[in-house]
Amino acid sequence: MDIEFILINGIVIACIYGLIAVAVSITWSSLGLLNLGYGFIFAFAGYGAYVTSRSLSEYPPVVLAAGVLVGAVGGVIICALIFIPLHEKPNFTVRGMVGTLAISLIGSQGLLWWFGPRNKALPEIFGRWQVEIGGTVLTSDKIGIVVCSIVMLILIVRWMRSSRRGLEIRAMMMNPHAASIVGIGIRKTGFYVMGITGAMTGLAAVLLSQTYYISPFSGITPLIKGVSIALLGGLGSVRGAVIASVILGFAESLTSTVLGGQYVLITQFLIIIAILMIRPRGIAGILDVAREQ
Amino acid sequence: MSTPRKNDDQYLWKNPLAVWGAKGGNYDVPSIRVEDPRTVWRKTTSYKAPLHKVGRFKYIHKWANHGKRLWKRQRWWPTRRSVLLIRGLYNRKTLKAEKSIVDKRPIYWAISLLALVLVPLFVPESLQFTILTAGATFGIFAAINVCWTLVIGTASIFSLATYAVVGTAAFLTAWLSINLGLPWWMLPPIGMLVGIVFGGILALPALRLDGFYYALLTLGLNELCRVYFVTSSEFGSASGGLYGASTYIGAAWAPLTQSVVSYYGAFALLVASLFLFRFIDGRRLGRILRMAPEKREAFAEATGVNYRQARVTVFLVSSVALGFIGGFYTAQYRGVAYAIFGFDTVLLGLAMLTIGGIGRVEGAVAGTLIVVVLDKVFITLGPIRHIMIGVLMLFVVLFLKNGLFGMKQQFRAWRDKKKGEWRSSRTEKGGEALPEEATEIDDKDILYRKRFDKMQREHLKTLVCEEVIEEHKNKPLGQHSEALERLLLYFRRTPQNDKYAIRRDSRGKRYKIVAFSGVRGTSPRLVEDKEYETVEEAYHGVFRRRVYDLLEA
């Protein structure tokens, strides 16, 4: 058992699932929508990248950009179909969640119908090279995954900190009602948020497809992992989600090395339940106040 | 003050008493023509708004009743629960005694369940196996969803791990049956044991977490079960599930008999789960939990309701029931597939609940029926049938507040809103009682008096003009033209409170206008400081005030 291997695997897993967790967290806190349609967006973006690589070009940045763009489009579709018509109706949270699940059902079955059940593979985006640092071999896809997701996360956090739109989103996260009173358009912000989070999911899809194949239901496991991380981090907290993704990433790589793959989810959920039993609002409940709704 | 009139409205009025040499009053004055009051009355009382028929639908039959008969009730022996809740009332129009069934749901349940019993007798030959298989699936899934409704609706714990409980119980019982050779009738009780253990584990976080945190956690636990059973060496096999358990369906029977028996077995399970629902939701625990809906727990706690204990009890009871269903599942199908833990199963289950209406048992059963028919009967359509289910689910979520069975309530709320809008658009304002407050006033004479008063004032306003005021100024007392006479008659009939009067100052011999208080012992108040030299001037002052009040009100 070597520590470096566990460490590196943990970071890679944390990066991919962290993207989805942050997306779930941002959507929940700014729109009050529990979006379980990220599984569909994930598969949708994967197929978008696949179609692009087949019909347009296999040039890696194009494939990457196609995945991100198609993911953003998927987010906008969910926003237009679920958030816009439902956000001021009674019982929005339950209906919104069920609505995103319906979109997920329609979307994944539609993909199955259109593309068939056979798995699809994306071209290698980061090439085939490796670096050795202090006796540890780092393959290209691992470095690429870590760099891409961290760059994406930093860009989004910077954008949310410094831009006008980011200010609007942060205002919505703090208090959606007051934000709408001071003139921030809920619908417009909804489109921004869903576009951005969809793009994050799309990136995660392209990155994960370096390891796994793309299939109509490939988004479900990442969705459940992302949601669990968001849950552990406390819904609505980006910092909590990042910390939780690191914790769960290490737990996953440690368990799969020491105990075996089938115990990964068990240890993860033991950790999640243990932390949630102490802090019902997750890690964010220790850091700061999470949105309650 | 007055509207301009055409010249032919004016004429010279001659006092009819003048020829008799009556004192006082004008002999002739220019005045205005007054329309025949009958024409005015007909015009104002005609109803301008389009009328629609109101009242009960004619085709709904009402049984005749007798007061004595109300006390005779059919009851479920040996309890005191009545079979049907019947209320006696009198028809407000015909004053006949009538019976009205307060709650018709038992009738609908009886009809629907009878229809389910009779289905195997009436299916066409070609579809026999498809429909019987779908019916058996429907029975089991409906039973699961009824228990799920108990968790989500009655206990308001948003758990998505229902199918995980069923699946775990089914897998463990299948494994025990295969390895220890247990007979089929032992599987459901063992499933109940599994259910209580699993339910106890699931109930622990339910006490701390609320709402969606718990929903997401259980969604993850579902995935955990799937991964564990798929990858573990004991339960894992290449056939996509664990099969080979003992079953109550004889292998030697004819295929049709097997299908029919499994159909009725699943139907019996559904009826049992409905009874469980009735005995939990309709009795003490259900009452307690209806007191403590989500976000109002603090109130319930303050009134002494131990809602946590009640919720956990309901959760555990339904977990036991789900375990039983898991054991039954194994005993029916000889085993279970991994698909029961799948995300798609949870999705379809949620679709069943949502389409019918979350928290309603009839919604759970009807939603299951719709989804199972789409899923199992139209199996040749491939992925399109799931897309259809998804579109139906999306439609329900977008347009219905609480599923198909919330439609009636939603429609009524919408209709009442529209009714109010239409009514307010045709109600004329001013003096008349609004329809909303009219229902609150018991003495309907008051309403008619108000309406008549309003109509009268509207008419009298048209009579006020310069000529009439001039006529009153010249001769306040005595015989007047018709227009002025009508105005004065109305003014004199006003009620005592705030009625104008004239007070003569005893020292200065001047006149002032006062208004009565309308209360005995309370002196009149002074209306204005203006003083009048003669009593005629004061009369005219009062008249001008009253005209002013009439036009302003």
ipTM: 0.87
Given a contact cutoff of 8 angstroms between Cβ atoms, the answer to whether A207 and A149 are in contact is: yes
Using the predicted structure, report yes or no on whether residue A290 has a pLDDT greater than 50.
no
Q: What is the DSSP letter of B9?
A: G
B394·A103 Cβ contact <8 A: yes
The token duo for A141 is 């896809």
Find where tokens 């760059």 sit: A151
Q: What is the DSSP letter of A120?
A: B
Residues in A closer than 8 angstroms to B216, CB to CB, are 34, 227-228, 230-231
pLDDT of residue B318: 93
Mutate to test the interface with B, among A27, A101, A263 (most CBs of B within 10 A): A101
A98·B354 Cβ contact <8 A: yes
Residues in B closer than 8 angstroms to A109, CB to CB, are 383-384, 386-387, 390
Kindly list the distances between the CA atom of residue B102 and the CA atoms of B57, B88, B106, B107, in Å, as whole numbers in the listed order.
Answer: 17, 10, 11, 11
Residues in B closer than 8 angstroms to A224, CB to CB, are 219-220, 223, 343
Residues β-bridged to residue A131: A138
Runs of H (alpha helix) within B150-210: 162-180, 187-208
- Residue A284 or residue B398, greater confidence: B398
- Crossing angle (nearest 10°) for helices B162-180 and B128-149: 120
The token duo for B178 is 């295969």
| Reported confidence tier of residue A285, pLDDT bands at 50, 70, 90 | low
Q: Which residue among A95, A113, A220 places its CB closest to the CB of B397?
A: A95
Closest C-alpha to A148, from A106, A199, A110, A96: A199
Residue A151 lies in a domain: yes
| φ/ψ (deg, to 5) at B195 | -60, -40
B195 Cβ neighbours under 8 A, 6+ residues apart:
B165, B169, B319, B320, B321, B322, B323, B324, B326
3-class secondary structure, B255: helix
Closest C-alpha to B275, from B361, B348, B372, B385: B361
Asked if B394 reaches chain A (Cβ–Cβ under 8 Å), the answer is: yes
Using the predicted structure, report yes or no on whether residue A292 has a pLDDT greater than 50.
no
Given a contact cutoff of 8 angstroms between Cβ atoms, the answer to whether B166 and B329 are in contact is: yes
**Structural domains counted in chain A:** 1
State how beta strands B10-14 and B28-32 pair: antiparallel
pLDDT of residue B429: 59
Given a contact cutoff of 8 angstroms between Cβ atoms, the answer to whether A177 and A43 are in contact is: no
Given a contact cutoff of 8 angstroms between Cβ atoms, the answer to whether A227 and A275 are in contact is: no
What value does the mean pLDDT of chain A take?
84
Residues in B closer than 8 angstroms to A229, CB to CB, are none
CA–CA dist B512, B331 (Å, integer): 102
Asked if B400 reaches chain A (Cβ–Cβ under 8 Å), the answer is: no
CA–CA dist B212, B83 (Å, integer): 39
Residues in A closer than 8 angstroms to B382, CB to CB, are 113
B490 Cβ neighbours under 8 A, 6+ residues apart:
B456, B457, B460, B550
CA–CA dist B312, B306 (Å, integer): 10
pLDDT in tens, chain B (553 residues): 445 455 567 788 888 887 887 776 678 888 888 888 899 989 888 877 777 776 666 777 888 887 777 677 788 888 888 888 888 888 877 888 888 888 889 999 999 999 999 988 888 888 888 889 899 999 999 999 999 999 998 888 888 889 999 999 998 998 888 888 888 888 899 999 999 999 998 888 887 777 778 888 888 888 888 888 887 777 766 567 788 888 888 788 888 888 899 999 999 999 999 999 998 988 888 888 888 887 788 888 898 888 888 889 999 999 999 999 999 999 988 888 888 888 888 999 999 999 998 888 999 999 999 999 998 888 888 888 889 999 999 999 999 988 899 899 999 999 999 988 887 776 665 566 777 777 888 888 988 888 888 889 989 999 999 989 999 998 898 888 899 999 999 999 988 888 999 999 888 789 999 999 988 889 999 998 889 999 999 999 999 999 999 998 7
Helix (H) or strand (E) holding A226: helix A220-233
Q: Which residue among B209, B227, B386 places its CB closest to the CB of A265?
A: B227
Residues β-bridged to residue B492: none
CA–CA dist B505, B310 (Å, integer): 81
Helix (H) or strand (E) holding B32: strand B28-32
B241 to chain A, closest Cα gap in Å: 17
Residues β-bridged to residue A138: A131
The number of helices, as runs of H, and strands, as runs of E, in chain A is 13, 2
Residue A242 lies in a domain: no
CA–CA dist B391, B19 (Å, integer): 91
pLDDT of residue B209: 79
pLDDT of residue B327: 92
Given a contact cutoff of 8 angstroms between Cβ atoms, the answer to whether B170 and B324 are in contact is: no
Residue A249 lies in a domain: no
Kindly list the distances between the CA atom of residue B213 and the CA atoms of B39, B157, B220, in Å, as whole numbers in the listed order.
Answer: 73, 11, 11
3-class secondary structure, B474: helix
Given a contact cutoff of 8 angstroms between Cβ atoms, the answer to whether A284 and A278 are in contact is: no
Residues β-bridged to residue B10: B32
B374 to chain A, closest Cα gap in Å: 14
CA–CA dist A15, A154 (Å, integer): 12
Kindly list the distances between the CA atom of residue B480 and the CA atoms of A260, B30, B474, B476, in Å, as whole numbers in the listed order.
Answer: 112, 11, 11, 9
Closest C-alpha to B328, from B196, B189, B142, B199: B189
Q: Which residue among A85, A266, A276 places its CB closest to the CB of B217?
A: A276
Residue A42 lies in a domain: yes
Alpha-carbon dihedral B335, B337, B341, B344, rounded to 10 degrees: -140
- Residue A76 or residue A186, greater confidence: A76
B156, with CB counted inside 10 A (0-12, 13-18, 19+), is buried
Mutate to test the interface with A, among B148, B212, B388 (most CBs of A within 10 A): B212
Mutate to test the interface with B, among A24, A42, A82, A98 (most CBs of B within 10 A): A98
B223 Cβ neighbours under 8 A, 6+ residues apart:
A220, A221, A224, A265, B341, B343
Domain that holds residue A68: 3-216
pLDDT of residue A288: 55
Angle at A99 (CA atoms; ends A94, A104), nearest 5 degrees: 130
CA–CA dist A166, B508 (Å, integer): 82
Kindly list the distances between the CA atom of residue A126 and the CA atoms of A20, A138, A144, B215, B283, in Å, as whole numbers in the listed order.
Answer: 21, 12, 6, 38, 64
Residue A285 lies in a domain: no
Count how many pairs of residues, chain A against chain B, have C-beta atoms within 8 Å.
Answer: 126
Residue A81 lies in a domain: yes
Residue A22 lies in a domain: yes
pLDDT of residue B56: 62
State how beta strands B63-64 and B28-32 pair: unpaired
Residue A141 lies in a domain: yes
CA–CA dist B163, A146 (Å, integer): 36
Mutate to test the interface with A, among B221, B343, B352, B379 (most CBs of A within 10 A): B343
A153 CB neighbour count, 10 Å cutoff: 19
CA–CA dist B421, A127 (Å, integer): 68
Residues in B closer than 8 angstroms to A102, CB to CB, are 351, 354, 390-391, 393-394, 397
Given a contact cutoff of 8 angstroms between Cβ atoms, the answer to whether A36 and A274 are in contact is: no
Cis peptide before B189 (omega within 30 of 0): no
Asked if B388 reaches chain A (Cβ–Cβ under 8 Å), the answer is: no
